[in-house]
Amino acid sequence: MLATASASEPPLADGIDPTAPPDAIDGLSCRVQAAGCFCPPTDWLAYGQDNKSILDSQLGQRMQCLFDFHDFDQAKHAWVPMDVGKTTKMLSDLSPARRVTPAAAPVLILHGDKDPSVPIQQSQLMVAKLQAAGVPTKLLVKPGEGHGWEGEIRDENLIADWFDQYLPRRKQK
């Protein structure tokens, strides 16, 4: 998600939180210069296949509470369930693959091809969107592996190498 953030997109500075106004930290950008991740969900509305949302999947049914979005009703001064249209918009807004622009950060993704939680389609979709936008990206598929694998910690070095390639070096003082 951070790889697709724009420089002018502080996540909480929009004032939608009715309990507290934005403060100084909310005005800072969360934009990153490079990203590396393992098994990322990237499109909540095309989860495993086109036109099948996370809510339609078995995983989504077990994780319904994560997607139980509410709006604040000023008249009732209470949180009320969000309607289906707004929920769909929220899932779209929270889908990194739907936010890709040519300004996105370079992204390295590692994913097991037997992942039972996050379909490899999610990583393939993200890489395709990044490539179409001309953003450097790479998908490293771990054959036979699921959502995490033995030796995964060693693969963090691949992410460090990716950062070395795409992050500017600071001059030593």
Question: Is 75 among the domain residues?
Answer: yes
Say whether pTM exceeds 0.75. yes
54 band by pLDDT with thresholds 50, 70 and 90? confident
Question: Is 76 among the domain residues?
Answer: yes
Query: Into how many domains does the chain fold?
Result: 1
- Report the candidate in 127, 169, 164, 170 with the shortest Cα–Cα distance to residue 34: 164
Question: Is 46 among the domain residues?
Answer: no
Question: Is 63 among the domain residues?
Answer: yes
The whole-number average pLDDT for the span 155-159 is: 94
Q: Which domain holds residue 68?
A: 52-93
Question: Is 127 among the domain residues?
Answer: no
The whole-number average pLDDT for the span 50-64 is: 77
- Report the candidate in 48, 38, 18, 17 with the shortest Cα–Cα distance to residue 125: 48
Higher-pLDDT residue of 169 and 73 is 73
Gap between the Cα atoms of 141 and 123, Å rounded: 9
Gap between the Cα atoms of 92 and 44, Å rounded: 7
Question: Is 160 among the domain residues?
Answer: no
Question: Is 65 among the domain residues?
Answer: yes
| Rg value, the chain, Cα | 18
Question: Is 122 among the domain residues?
Answer: no
Q: What pLDDT score does 60 carry?
A: 64
